[in-house]
Amino acid sequence: MSGRFAGRTAVVTGGASGIGAATAARLTAEGASVLVVDVVAEPPRTCAGYLRGDVAEEETWDRVAEWGPIDVIVSNAAAAEVAPAHLTRAGRTVSRPPCSTGSARPRRWPR
C-alpha cells in the first residue's frame, strides 16, 4: 500500500462519526492502519480496528497499548452536556471535554 502514512499505525479518538470518522478514513486512504476509539457502539467501516471505550479512563489506554506500537494519535474525542437553560449552571450550557477533566494519557507504549 502506498501513501504518506503507509506502514504506520494511527489511533483516532472520537472517530466513530463526524470529523473523527473523516480523519480515520483519510488516514486509511493514505495507507495507515487505524484504530478508532470511541464510546459509540457502532464502529466506522473504514478502520482496521475499533475499541469501544472512554479516553478519559486509563483502562481504555491500557487496551489501546495492547494493539501495538502507535505512530500517530489524533485526539478528537470530546464530551458535552446539553440541557435546557433552567437545568444548567447559571443558565449556560455545561461543556466537559476530556482535556479539561484530566483525561488519561498513555504512559507506556510497546516498542
- Report which of residues 79 and 72 the model is more confident about: 72
Overall average pLDDT of the 92-110 stretch: 48
In three-state secondary structure terms, 34 is strand
Burial of 104 from C-beta contacts in 10 A (0-12 / 13-18 / 19+): middle
d(CA 10, CA 47): 10
The three cell numbers of residue 17 are: 462519526
Report pTM.
Answer: 0.72
What's residue 81's pLDDT?
A: 64
The three cell numbers of residue 49 are: 480496528
Overall average pLDDT of the 42-46 stretch: 77
d(CA 48, CA 22): 14
pLDDT tens per residue across span 47-78: 789 999 999 899 999 999 998 899 999 999 88
